[in-house]
Structure 1
Amino acid sequence: MPPPADIVKVAIEWPGAFPKLMEIDQVSACACVWSLANHDQFALQHADSSNFYITEKNRNEIKNGAILRLTTSPAQNAQQLHERIQSSSMDAKLEALKDLANYSRDVTFAQEFINLDGISLLTQMVESGTERYQKLQKIMKPCFGDMLSFTLTAFVELMDHGIVSWDTFSVAFIKKIASYVNKFASDISILQRSLAILESMVLNSHDLYQKVAQEITIGQLIPHLQGTDQEIQTYTIAVINALFLKAPDDKRQVSCWDLLCSLESVCLLQHVIRAQRAINNEMAHQLYVLQVLTFNLLEDRMMTKMDPQDQAQRDIIFELRRIAFDAESEPNNSSGSIEKRKSMYTRDYKKLGFINHVNPAMDFTQTPPGMLALDNMLYFAKHHQDAYIRIVLENSSREDKHECPFGRSSIELTKMLCEILKVGELPSETCNDFHPMFFTHDRSFEEFFCICIQLLNKTWKEMRATSEDFNKVMQVVKEQIMRALTTKPSSLDQFKSKLQNLSYTEILKIRQSERMNQEDFQSRPILELKEKIQPEILELIKQQRLNRLVEGTCFRKLNSRRRQGTAETSWSDFLLSLLSKS
């Protein structure tokens, strides 16, 4: 008869005895094997490095062939360690804290230790108990550092189980942890755990955010990014992200701007992203979060409508016109001059590509992209003035239906870029999709826009687009941008180079190649059908072309000077004109 399903065959160890292969169902049966009394004082735990206890909740996870260890129960173990860490012997205390840091990863043990008010004991040791040992640092510095490291490790592991609320900690404890970020900067283990505690405090308690923000500044955190330890850099960025994520809206704008300037000054890209080693998943996630939080600062402008009556906002549009056309001296303020000025403004706003030529402020009342589009246009006009003037003048001299409207394009492009970068969305807890190029410039979004608006104008010309093709052009531009971003360019210049290789013609080739490489198109029936009907299709195309020549057609006659259509002629007339010239 086969054994019940809840009976498993395992190896069980017991100190001072030979391991035994057994079928187990309950802990008391194991205790009886070695004639142990007080069965409730013993428990099974995994014999691997985890040392996790076997409980009623997880006993079903035991597999056949597992190696278990019979040991003291979680309650007994917690009571013993609670007493040992209060020992007056430094060696005994150090060994007890080491064991506590190891056992605290197990939630069963953690619950028992916390029930003994163990968290309060550890916080008291951090607040005041370690001070008396600091006098001995010169003669026993390694011992002190290890002791503090194990204490903080045990605290982090116990709090990670979510049993105790973070709101219960005192200002003195927060001050002490914050001081370790600077005092023990050279001790990797203490610094790492101190940063982890600060991050958890900020993320799990609004009240603690206020207290932590008063004790730790961005300036104190930035130097930790300059080292070579990737874990310290990761924890540092995690604390920065937590501070920004929980910061009130009125403080977030100023704080993040200060951060960007600081990150640029210490060359974050050089110390973190371009280091000669692979970036692990956790670091990539924290950089992704920082990227998202940075771009989310644009949400306010993205969702702000332009007020057509706001003179300061209207002045921005006037500035765009002035830079583009270098406005001539204004006419006198006579009634006739006012009408002339309005006519001139309307003409220029049409050249700038606004939808509303009379009052272009109305173009920025849709959110998104709101005022963010106007901000981008002004940045482009001021920081890339030559490119801006070239685009505007080039399009204003084209035929009406072939001009690429700068104003409308900028508004739609800004909206598209916000969608691509998910501006306004909270960061995902699992995503690590960050782009190194956005950490190379303190105005990376604006520079990103400047590159993409020039791409849009270039693609428009390559497609020989008209106003009816506007949406098609935007789709192609989005595909060009997305394909360039997937290559993870390390700089904005490299991103621009990637776009150079993604012309409209290249996009068409890529699309065709991807379609042909799909499994459906490579199946045997499709290939056989293609081979069978190809001759017939080619013959049909040939016949249609001949019929077109016979029937004739009309096309535009081009003026050699302006390349504009001035008349229409038939295909046969065109052939006769060529023959007469020859």
Structure 2
Amino acid sequence: MLRSIKYLSRYEAVAGQRQQGGGPSHVAQDTSEFKQLKECGQPPNVSLRDVIWRHLTQDGWRNPGSHARGSGRGGSCRTVASTRLFSPVYRVVESQGAKMPQQKDIVKIAIQMPGAYPQLIQLDQKKPLSAVIKELESPGPDNYALQYADGVQMYITESNRLDIKNGCILRLTKGPGRCAEDLFKGIQSSDSGVRCDSLKELANVSTDVTFAQEFISRDGHLLLVKIVEDAKESNVIMTHTLTGFMELMDHGIVSWENLSTIFIKKIASFVNAKAADASMQQVSLDILESMVLSSNGLFLQVKQEVTMERLVAHLQVTNQQIQTKAMALLMALLQTAGDSDRQDMFAFLNKKNLRQYIYKNIIHSSASVQDEMAHYLYVLQSVTLNHLEPRMRTPLDSYSQDQRDVLHSLRQAAFETETENSLSNERRRSLCAKEFKKLGFSNNSNPGQDLVRTPPGLVALDTMSYFASRYPDAYSRFVLENSSREDKHECPFARSSIQLTLILCEILRIGETPSETGSDYHPIFFSQDRLVEELFCVCIQLLNKTWKEMRATQEDFDKEQPLCPEHRGSRPTFCLCPQPPTQGALGQGQRGTRWTKRSV
């Protein structure tokens, strides 16, 4: 049922004349109505959405006479004027039976039409859309469609019409088929201005899947591919072409694997160019990222065409959009690559000091890190730390001479022992067992058994060895202090180190696939080459300090988590939140923390 709201134009004309200082007498036909408006002052601005919501709140529409009538310049006078202004609608609504209860299949919406007044309608969701459009008296209803007027201007179809809610504003526009046909012809025009306008509009409307299906059914995407391959157009036209192509491909109607090698090489050339339009490079990086994520075959082609050198160069520009898209492509390459390729890529990035550059020029730049970039920093952190997963899941091999040598180096770095070569085998075994016990191993006769549990596996051996070699004084002090304490108050270095390494692996989520929405990156990661090992070195010393302050005993070990003041939860919490930017800040931030002994 259609309801004309021509009074809206009249009402807005009154408001417009008031704002311009003119009188509305030539608009208001009723003298008494004009007097009431004049007494009340300028009427409030009314938008189409205001009218819809008045329409939805039925009380005011059904009973115009129930409004309090007052005098003077108070609020009641404004109510009278409002009632008189909307009286044509009251009459229409009452005549159409507005008192009837709303049916569940009826939604009240507004429709904007070109060259005509907007209309309020009660849309019957059971009635075909073609019939609804025909009732709107549109010329050639087959060539028209309804579309959302606000936000994402998506076409209304039989499959998505149930998403329409009360108060929605739709507009009558060209149907997707007719729009696709017009743009398909415009793109092939001999006039460059027409081509540019058509491609610009294509980039906007291609976000709608209904239009995309119509345009692709005419092989419109192949037309865009040809424009790129020929590379004869200006940068502006090429940017619109690439944007439209990307939007069309995002719907998944056409497979990325159908693209030609020539097309891929051309897109890669836009990225590799040292002097190119920034907008064109941005969308080209976006296209290449989608290619890499779509199939292993395209990953190999893109990896061959786009040099890592150029990607790193794009990260060093001041344009944040280029930086973000370059980081997105880099993360796609790292996540898709096999173990061997990934190792080679990381070796190259480490050689270029990528993490240090990110730390100084992206994380600590004058501009704040945007959400999308934060996500890619999180992905880089996750992918890098996941390199430790194989060692985290590998137990110590008692038959490995290299691993046994690392264990004995821990003992030798902590204690000044007699020349072992001069000792008998029995004496040597006894001495080693005694020193491994002082180091805090549970199985002092065969300390490798302590490192059989996975996780943390060999990562625990790596962290202990790193601490002993990187900070020998702190390591010796830790071991000697605890070996000279009373037995019940000594902090077992090896046992504590294994548990601490496990906690670090859990906190840093080593071995977990990066989340598609995660953005929880740690700035300290980008300031250190050996994050896990450096964190361990700080935390093991904090653990020793806490142990002494709490006067903890061996019996407390299994029921205490002295690393963290919060109660143990499903996932350990940690001093990385708030995020410390450097190792020094991490240690400094924890020195003032007071710990208390508690039971679980």
Q: Which moved more, 1:228-237 or 1:391-400?
A: 228-237
CA positional deviation for 1:448: 0.9
The one-letter code of the counterpart of 1:86 is: Q
Q: Deviations over 1:128-159 (max 9, x none)?
A: x22x34xxxxxxxxxx1211111111111111
What residue in structure 1 maps to residue 250 of structure 2? 160
CA distance in 2, matches of 1:479, 1:328: 45
Is the partner of 1:68 in helix, strand or coil?
Answer: strand
Is the partner of 2:421 in helix, strand or coil?
Answer: coil
What residue in structure 1 maps to residue 484 of structure 2? 397
Q: Deviations over 1:518-549 (max 9, x none)?
A: xxxxxxxxxxxxxxxxxxxxxxxxxxxxxxxx
Structure 1 unmatched runs, 5+: 134-143, 512-582
In the alignment, is the contact (CA less than 8 A) between 1:24 and 1:30 conserved in 2? Answer: no
Is the partner of 1:267 in helix, strand or coil?
Answer: helix
In the alignment, is the contact (CA less than 8 A) between 1:10 and 1:64 conserved in 2? Answer: yes
What residue in structure 1 maps to residue 112 of structure 2? 13
Q: Which moved more, 1:475-484 or 1:312-321?
A: 475-484
- 2:294 counterpart (204, 209, 229): 204
- 1:457 counterpart (523, 532, 544): 544
What residue in structure 2 maps to residue 83 of structure 1? 185
CA positional deviation for 1:185: 6.1
CA distance in 2, matches of 1:114, 1:152: 15
In the alignment, is the contact (CA less than 8 A) between 1:377 and 1:410 conserved in 2? Answer: yes
CA distance in 1, matches of 2:114, 2:393: 68
What residue in structure 2 maps to residue 524 of structure 1? none
The one-letter code of the counterpart of 2:290 is: S
Q: Deviations over 1:239-269 (max 9, x none)?
A: 2221111111233234234324434476211
Q: Deviations over 1:532-576 (max 9, x none)?
A: xxxxxxxxxxxxxxxxxxxxxxxxxxxxxxxxxxxxxxxxxxxxx
Is the partner of 1:331 in helix, strand or coil?
Answer: helix
CA distance in 1, matches of 2:193, 2:109: 36
The one-letter code of the counterpart of 1:61 is: D
**Of Structure 1 and Structure 2, which has the larger fraction of its residues in helix?**
1
CA positional deviation for 1:329: 3.0
1:486 aligns with 2:563: no
What residue in structure 2 maps to residue 320 of structure 1? 410
CA distance in 2, matches of 1:261, 1:498: 31
In the alignment, is the contact (CA less than 8 A) between 2:464 and 2:497 conserved in 1? Answer: yes
Q: Which moved more, 1:235-244 or 1:474-483?
A: 474-483
1:496 aligns with 2:587: yes
Correspondence 1:508-547 to 2 at 5 A: none
Q: How many pairs were matched up?
A: 492
CA distance in 2, matches of 1:67, 1:319: 75
CA positional deviation for 1:77: 1.0
In the alignment, is the contact (CA less than 8 A) between 2:356 and 2:526 conserved in 1? Answer: no
CA positional deviation for 1:58: 2.1
Q: 1:461 to 1:266 in 2, by over 3 A?
A: closer
In the alignment, is the contact (CA less than 8 A) between 1:302 and 1:367 conserved in 2? Answer: yes
Correspondence 1:191-230 to 2 at 5 A: 191-230=281-320
Q: Deviations over 1:459-508 (max 9, x none)?
A: 11111111111124435448498352221112221111111122314x88
Q: Deviations over 1:215-237 (max 9, x none)?
A: 22332211222233333222222
The one-letter code of the counterpart of 1:372 is: V
Is the partner of 2:171 in helix, strand or coil?
Answer: strand
- 1:446 counterpart (511, 533, 553): 533
Correspondence 1:13-92 to 2 at 5 A: 13-25=112-124, 26-31=129-134, 33-34=136-137, 36-37=139-140, 39-48=141-150, 50-92=152-194
CA positional deviation for 1:238: 1.7
In the alignment, is the contact (CA less than 8 A) between 2:278 and 2:322 conserved in 1? Answer: yes
CA distance in 2, matches of 1:225, 1:45: 40
The one-letter code of the counterpart of 1:498 is: G
CA distance in 2, matches of 1:120, 1:103: 17
Correspondence 1:233-272 to 2 at 5 A: 233-264=323-354, 267-272=357-362
In the alignment, is the contact (CA less than 8 A) between 1:264 and 1:441 conserved in 2? Answer: no
Correspondence 1:464-483 to 2 at 5 A: 464-477=551-564, 479=566, 482-483=573-574
Is the partner of 1:70 in helix, strand or coil?
Answer: strand
CA positional deviation for 1:450: 0.9
What residue in structure 2 maps to residue 552 of structure 1? none
- 1:179 counterpart (265, 269, 287): 269
What residue in structure 1 maps to residue 474 of structure 2? 387
Structure 2 unmatched runs, 5+: 1-96
Is the partner of 1:485 in helix, strand or coil?
Answer: coil
Is the partner of 1:474 in helix, strand or coil?
Answer: coil
Is the partner of 1:298 in helix, strand or coil?
Answer: helix
CA distance in 2, matches of 1:476, 1:86: 68
Q: Which moved more, 1:102-111 or 1:482-491?
A: 482-491
What residue in structure 2 maps to residue 409 of structure 1? 496
Q: Deviations over 1:167-201 (max 9, x none)?
A: 22222222222221232665332122112112211
Is the partner of 2:496 in helix, strand or coil?
Answer: helix
In the alignment, is the contact (CA less than 8 A) between 1:364 and 1:371 conserved in 2? Answer: yes
Is the partner of 1:44 in helix, strand or coil?
Answer: strand
- 1:99 counterpart (196, 201, 204): 201
| Percent identity of equivalent pairs | 50
Is the partner of 1:297 in helix, strand or coil?
Answer: helix
The one-letter code of the counterpart of 2:235 is: G
CA distance in 2, matches of 1:65, 1:479: 48
Q: 1:50 to 1:265 in 2, by over 3 A?
A: closer
**Over aligned residue pairs, what C-alpha RMSD do you find?**
2.4
- 1:111 counterpart (213, 219, 224): 213
CA positional deviation for 1:331: 3.4
Q: 1:254 to 1:464 in 2, by over 3 A?
A: farther
Q: Which moved more, 1:157-166 or 1:3-12?
A: 3-12
CA distance in 2, matches of 1:258, 1:501: 40
What residue in structure 2 maps to residue 346 of structure 1? 433
CA distance in 1, matches of 2:372, 2:260: 30
Q: Which moved more, 1:72-81 or 1:262-271?
A: 262-271
Q: Which moved more, 1:148-157 or 1:245-254?
A: 245-254
Correspondence 1:348-387 to 2 at 5 A: 348-387=435-474
The one-letter code of the counterpart of 1:323 is: A
Q: Deviations over 1:37-75 (max 9, x none)?
A: 3x2121112234633211112222334443332222111
- 2:505 counterpart (418, 426, 429): 418
In the alignment, is the contact (CA less than 8 A) between 2:180 and 2:214 conserved in 1? Answer: yes
TM-score, normalised to structure 1, is 0.79
What residue in structure 1 maps to residue 81 of structure 2? none
CA positional deviation for 1:166: 1.9
Q: 1:60 to 1:172 in 2, by over 3 A?
A: same
The one-letter code of the counterpart of 1:314 is: R
CA positional deviation for 1:102: 0.6
What residue in structure 2 maps to residue 284 of structure 1? 374
In the alignment, is the contact (CA less than 8 A) between 1:227 and 1:271 conserved in 2? Answer: no
Q: Which moved more, 1:356-365 or 1:21-30?
A: 21-30
The one-letter code of the counterpart of 1:296 is: N
Is the partner of 2:573 in helix, strand or coil?
Answer: helix
In the alignment, is the contact (CA less than 8 A) between 1:306 and 1:361 conserved in 2? Answer: yes
The one-letter code of the counterpart of 1:301 is: R
Is the partner of 2:156 in helix, strand or coil?
Answer: coil
What residue in structure 2 maps to residue 544 of structure 1? none
CA positional deviation for 1:107: 0.8
CA distance in 2, matches of 1:292, 1:83: 48
Q: 1:432 to 1:375 in 2, by over 3 A?
A: same
Q: Which moved more, 1:270-279 or 1:101-110?
A: 270-279
In the alignment, is the contact (CA less than 8 A) between 2:224 and 2:245 conserved in 1? Answer: yes
